Amino acid sequence: MCAAESLSTLKFANRAKNIRNAARVNEDVDQRTLLRKYERELRRLRAELQQRQRELVDKRHLLEVCLLDHTPAQACQLATALKCLSYLAYGSQSQA
């Protein structure tokens, strides 16, 4: 046996020794449990959507207030930003 093969074998043994497995038992999920899981996920996503819409409405209101305090050119830029926010918040049917 040559030294290179011995060294390679020792390196492999060291790597194999450091492998950690995390065994888990497979779960048989019944339909009720799965339904509850999806309902929780829907509630979480709806709450996140409401929060994002509130943040966008707050930003939109802030831009509307800012429009009153700026020159026409600045107001035009702010209005464009406002339209973008409206599109993000409400989709393409926005009438901002």
**What's the pLDDT score for residue 92?**
52
Using 50, 70 and 90 to split pLDDT, how confident is the model at 93? very low
Q: Is residue 14 part of a domain?
A: no
Domain containing 59 equals 50-90
Contacts of 94 (CB under 8 A, 6+ apart): 83, 86, 87
Q: Is residue 85 part of a domain?
A: yes
* Separation CA 61–CA 55 (nearest Å): 10
Q: Is residue 6 part of a domain?
A: no
Q: Is residue 70 part of a domain?
A: yes
Q: Is residue 74 part of a domain?
A: yes
**What's the pLDDT score for residue 44?**
95
Residue 44 burial class via C-beta count within 10 angstroms: exposed 0-12, middle 13-18, buried 19 and up: exposed
Q: Is residue 7 part of a domain?
A: no
Q: Is residue 55 part of a domain?
A: yes
pLDDT tens, 2-54? 777 788 888 999 999 999 988 888 777 788 888 999 999 999 999 998 888 88
Q: Is 69 a residue whose pLDDT tops 80?
A: no
Q: Is residue 62 part of a domain?
A: yes
**Count of domains for the chain:** 1
